[in-house]
Amino acid sequence: MATLRPPPPGATPPVRPTLVWLASYPKSGNTWLRLFLANYLLDRSEPFPINDLPKLTFADNVAEPYVKLSGRPIEALDEATVHALRPQVHRLLSTQGPDLILVKTHVALYVSNGIPSITVPATRATVYLVRNPFDVADSFAQHFGVGLDQAVDTLCSPNALLRGDPRRKLGQRIGDWGSHATRWADAAPLNPLVLRYEDLRRDPLGAFSAVVRHLGLPCDPPRVERAIGFAAFDEARRQEERVGFVEGSSKAERFFRAGQIGRGRDRLGEEQRGRLVAAHGEAMRRFGYLDADGRPVDHAVGLEPAS
């Protein structure tokens, strides 16, 4: 994670609207978005190293600030304690830079004991990525080493939790896919730009340019195109094959696969697809994954598959 600067002893840092939430349900393109932003912001003559991502962006499930603020070891931090600390952690994160601080999150939007999971006064903007739940389920199963049935169960569970890492990451409530997407998309106080993963693939220049403009940054098309090339799957895979990836999963052979569109529709069985449609039909229609008659929309048509 990016180096966290603690506040002066006894000081309460002010809330500053500097946080840019890079939000998504797991396995929806968050890492690709962060790689693009890293390459665009730094504007180097060579691709940004994938293993330096944690040095440039924060993640709101990293245990360090919660451990420091609570004075407790990570194993003593239950979900209720972590949630109660979220406003303080967000306040601290908001002081870590002058005006734009990137924070990755998969957390669901919810309120518990009067405390929201995301702190509005600390927020500058949000970029929310949504992806077809068929493809999310397929990628989720591959990444976490679970079966497709279990992946579908997770996407359909209102109480779904993302497991933490006993050494450095906290568990996180992600809930079900449909509620996650609609609540983030409708969270006007968080200033969300909602982008579909499929649109990043189909029109990367247009979609990533929209991200740059949403963050209030100067949008330079040649620079955007260069950053897109440096963040491409082929480049990320080459780096992963050469040096590994610190955010990879021990359950998966590699993190950067093909990033294909429509693979989940082929890999999921009819019953599994039916469960996702039954649970999330309204949200799938809203985001263009079902047509008006409830039939899946094939976003891979006319799109070259990733190699």
Task: Give the C-alpha distances (Å, rounded to integers) separating 142 from 98, 130, 264.
Answer: 38, 18, 11
Six-digit token string for 110: 């919810």
Give the 3-state secondary structure of residue 1: coil
Would the CA dihedral through 201, 21, 231, 43 be positive or negative? positive
Length of the chain: 307
Summarised one tens digit per residue, pLDDT across range 276-305 is 999 999 999 999 999 999 999 987 543 433
Six-digit token string for 168: 């450095």
First to last CA, the chain: 30
pLDDT of residue 165: 80
Separate counts of helices (H) and strands (E) for the chain: 13, 9
pLDDT of residue 8: 59
pLDDT of residue 250: 54
User: What stretches in the chain show pLDDT beneath 50?
Assistant: 301-307
pTM: 0.91
- CATH class, 19-131+153-255 region: alpha beta
